[in-house]
């Protein structure tokens, strides 16, 4: 929740022209869907869940948020 709040506040500036709240929400949604589909495919293929897999959401959110900032800076 902290990363989502930070992303929405930084990318969703209060300027009407540079408001990217939808971009930040869609980026976080894509990360969540990727996490869910990855674990779903792993479950269907008979994979086992280990303790390291509990860290995956934090890694995926970090990479996804970083990509959103890179894309926004490239557009600017």
On whether the CB atoms of residues 34 and 61 are closer than 8 A, the answer is no
Q: Give residue 59's pLDDT.
A: 86
Tell me the C-alpha distance between 5 and 37, whole Å: 24
- Give the model confidence (pLDDT) of 31-70 as tens digits: 889 889 988 998 999 988 888 888 888 888 888 888 888 8
Q: Give residue 44's pLDDT.
A: 94
Q: What is the pTM of this model?
A: 0.72
**pLDDT-based confidence at 16, cuts 50/70/90?**
low
What is the number of structural domains in the chain? 1
Could you tell me the residue range of the domain that residue 36 belongs to? Answer: 2-75
Quick one: which H or E segment has residue 61? helix 56-75
On whether the CB atoms of residues 31 and 60 are closer than 8 A, the answer is yes
Neighbours of 16 (CB within 10 A): 6
């Amino acid at each position: 929740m902290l990363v989502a709040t930070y992303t929405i506040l930084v990318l969703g500036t209060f300027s009407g022209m540079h408001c990217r709240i939808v971009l930040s929400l869609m980026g976080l949604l894509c990360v969540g869907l990727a996490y869910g589909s990855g674990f779903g495919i792993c479950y269907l293929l008979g994979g086992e869940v280990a303790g390291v897999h509990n860290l995956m959401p934090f890694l995926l959110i970090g990479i996804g948020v970083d990509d959103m900032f890179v894309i926004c800076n490239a557009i600017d």
